Structure 1
Amino acid sequence: MVSPDQESSGARSSRTFPYYRFRGSHRQIGQQYGEACAGLIERHLELAQERLKTWVEVLTQEALMEAVMHYRTYVQRYAPYFDEEIQGIAEGANITLAEAYLLQLRAEIYRNFQPNNECTTFAVSSQATSNGIPLIGQNADLPHFYSEIGVVVEFVPDDQPACLMFAPAGQVSYIGINNLGLGVFANFLTCDGWRFGFPRYMLSRYALTCSSTVEEAIQAVRSLHRASSRNLIMMDRFGHAADLETIPTTDALLLPDDGILVHSNHFIGSDLQKEERLSGHQLVNSRIRQSRMKELLVGRKGELNADVMQDILRDRQTYPHTLSAMPEDDGTDNMTVASVIAEPGEGRLWIAVGPPHQYNYKIYAFSN
């Protein structure tokens, strides 16, 4: 079944996400980020708080600060530079430190009220591409308003690798690549046992700041006292790829099957399937997206490149459980808010505003 809102290529919009480059100390990067994106950050905070109030009548500033300080302890322990950036964002955007942290922690805060399906990821080794260049990326599925507050950011700290990422405005980490040839992308996983610890959204950039290879990235993530569950799919400039399903206390490692890796929002690793808490319609949705992505990649093995991936990520043939998702397709307000394709070894990203069947992709690369 095909949704009647399937778009033709001629109808696609050329709108793109705003792009920023921030350079200096981490405090300076945060301040630049906060100042440049103040309006978008304010809107992000407003929408996040409104969404939270649909589940609880009010979240007091005192309660928010108390929760934030528990998580902040772990950020300061493992990645004090992120804390510096978040302080800078608060200063630059003229919001409180607790509010700046809420933008990094919304998954942990929301988890108490509603699980979500978020994202379909892929990695394709050189043997499966048309040009020998490995690919990694995802369709990022979030509440629909995130398509209005997304940004493309190049972080260039004085003391760490540069990172080129897509992120909701005000977040110091989401998905992207570093200038050492490593790409890290991510999806939501649902399990019990969430706790105070290192926040899930920061895992991707943490790996990018600590690593140049997939092996190093895996070890970096394993070293953390993690707060929550997260799936991470990774690829380095050598073409090595791996998927790491994480829960707070352990993980499962998945490797490519004939050069192809695919993940959505349910556990695939046999050791973690008992941890699955996704059910019903959401589990069906996740399984169909995972199966459809794998079918399309396998079907075009040897032909795959950035252009072909754009066509695949625009797919809506399995409506209502589609790769390129519209609001209410699956009965929620989630949609594909951004679509990202990376060639980590080449330092390139292709990013489309979502859903990608309605928008054109734009290419981004490191400035230096």
Structure 2
Amino acid sequence: MHTKDLPIVDCPRAPLARGRAHGEALRGVITEKIERWQAAIGKSYGQPAGTFLPAFLSATDFRAATAEFIPDLLEEVQGIAEGAGIAEETAFALQLMDEEWWFGRAKGDGHCSSLAIAPSDGQPTLVGQTMDLPRWHDQAQALLRLEGDDDETLVYTSAGMVGLMGVSSRGLGICVNTLSQLATSRRGLPVAFAMRGALAQANAEAAATFLSRVRHASGQNYQIGDRQGVRTLECSAGGAAVLTVENGRSLHTNHPLASTDAAPGAKMEGSSNSRNRLRSLHTDFARNKPVDLDRIKAALSACRKGGAVSIVPKGPANARTKLGLMKSMTVGAVIYEIGKAVSLSVAAGPPSVEGWKKITLRQG
């Protein structure tokens, strides 16, 4: 998707109405995405979606944790289903992206790269990432504008999901990346719900506290920033490990740097691709120079051999093969500037080839 084509969906405050607005606005996109998703399930796990998804949902219980920690999101998912004209069970399963991967034993360890930079020398807090997903998510990118009592939240998502990452006008931003090496739980809180629950908090400390107390379904790194600074947590079924942020800079890819809560048989060092991408980020932030928006855009656009931070798909978008659906690409990149004002810079595809759009959030 091109950034100029990125839809922005205005969603009211009430959870059910919020979901309905999302589902109605993106109904056709969600329907087409579900077709690609179901084809991808068959390709990935060797069984049709009609067999895999009921087995997945019956073998897990993610609703109980969601109802315990952030029940309004269950209403929002119901609203998405109603608005999009799909079964509520299908809408709920759409939220379980990371959980589907480990349940189905998908190959690979993820491809997202993230960073969080504490404020200094007049620069605001900066938090950003590339979101790398299977190519079947392409053309489903969207931005949700969630209305609050006296604030707003912008959430980057794949149509039908409650969110991938986001920033609020309260001055709180969250980015994420998968840590497939960490322990999982069939009764924990799924990543999409954990992210939104953290993003609903007042500040970074409260978001970190929320992520530290919930039961997590999947291994995930959370980069959190507010006007005061940044925090980084690696969360898993066994709890949350808090990383020390050195020199005010937190850089992360898809292998744990602090947590030792390993899944059975996991290779905690991660893939060479993950290590190379982390090395790429360190290269771009190695010198003791102020970090600004342009520098972060350049780091997220890096395409170094063996560890491209910005992943550009091969072949024309209208000629995807079934195999091509499964290949990873950067389906979006975000950078939050959190100072007196709060803004989001967003690219709706690989930032090495796609343009950016900047949106300033309204202040309460």
Tell me if both proteins adopt one fold, taking TM over 0.5 as the criterion: yes
User: Is contact 2:183-2:263 (8 Å) kept?
Assistant: no
> Is residue 113 of structure 1 aligned with residue 101 of structure 2?
no
Structure 2 counterpart of 1:343, from 333, 337, 344: 337
- Give the whole-Å Cα distance in 2 for the aligned partners of 1:233 and 1:101: 25
Shift of the alpha carbon at 1:173? Answer: 2.1
Give 1:91's aligned amino acid.
E
Q: Which residue of 2 aligns with 1:182?
A: 172
Code of the residue aligned with 1:198 in structure 2: it is L
Residues 226-249 of structure 1: per-residue CA shift (max 9 Å, x gap): 2111110101112x2111001112
Q: Which residue of 2 aligns with 1:366?
A: 361
Q: CA deviation at 1:134?
A: 1.5
1:352 corresponds in structure 2 to 347
Query: Who is 1:9 aligned against?
Result: none
Which secondary structure state, in structure 1, belongs to the residue aligned with residue 4 of structure 2? coil
Task: Tell me if structure 2 keeps the 8 A contact 1:228–1:248.
Answer: yes
Counterparts in 2 of 1:208 and 1:307: CA distance versus 1, 3 Å = same
Q: Which deviates further from its counterpart, 90-99 or 117-126?
A: 117-126
TM-superposed deviation, 1:192: 3.7
Q: CA 1:47–1:31 in 2, change beyond 3 Å: closer, same or farther?
A: same
Aligned-partner residue type, residue 80 of structure 2: I
- Decide whether aligned partners of structure 1 residues 66 and 310 sit closer, same or farther in structure 2, where only a CA change above 3 A counts: closer
**CA positional deviation for 1:367:** 4.4
Larger fraction in helix: 1
The corresponding residue for 2:251 is: 262
Q: Deviation string for 1:262-282 (max 9, x for gaps)?
A: 0000011164579882579x6
Cα 1:22–1:92 change in 2 (3 A) is same
Task: Could you tell me which runs of 5 or more consecutive residues in structure 2 were left unpaired when the two chains were aligned.
Answer: 316-323
Shift, 1:110, TM fit: 2.4
1:293 to 268, 281, 287: 281
Q: Structure 1 residues 219 and 90 mapped into 2: Cα distance closer, same or farther (>3 Å)?
A: same
1:301 to partner: Cα distance: 2.6
Aligned partners of 1:292 and 1:363: how far apart in 2? 25
- The 5-angstrom pairing of residues 197-346 of structure 1 reads 197-209=188-200, 211-238=201-228, 240-269=229-258, 271-272=260-261, 277-278=266-267, 283-299=271-287, 301-302=289-290, 304-316=291-303, 318-327=304-313, 333-345=327-339, 346=341
Equivalenced residues, count: 348
Quote the Cα distance in structure 2 between the aligned partners of 1:276 and 1:162.
43
Give the Cα–Cα distance (whole angstroms) in 2 for the partners of residues 300 and 264 of structure 1: 21
State the SS of the aligned residue for 2:12. Answer: strand
Q: How far apart are the structure 2 equivalents of 1:253 and 1:124?
A: 16
- State the match for 1:41 in structure 2: 30
User: Is 1:80 aligned to residue 71 of structure 2?
Assistant: yes
What is the alpha-carbon distance in structure 1 between the residues aligned to residue 63 and residue 204 of structure 2?
27
Matching of residue 149 in structure 1 with residue 140 in structure 2: yes
Check the 8 A contact 1:195/1:248 in 2, yes or no: no
Residues 157 and 78 of structure 1: CA distance in aligned 2, closer, same or farther (over 3 Å) = same
Whichever residue aligns with residue 293 of structure 2, its letter is A
Q: TM-score, normalised by structure 2?
A: 0.88
Tell me the TM-score normalised to structure 1 length: 0.87
1:349–1:363 Cα contact (<8 Å) kept: yes
Partner residue, 1:132: 123
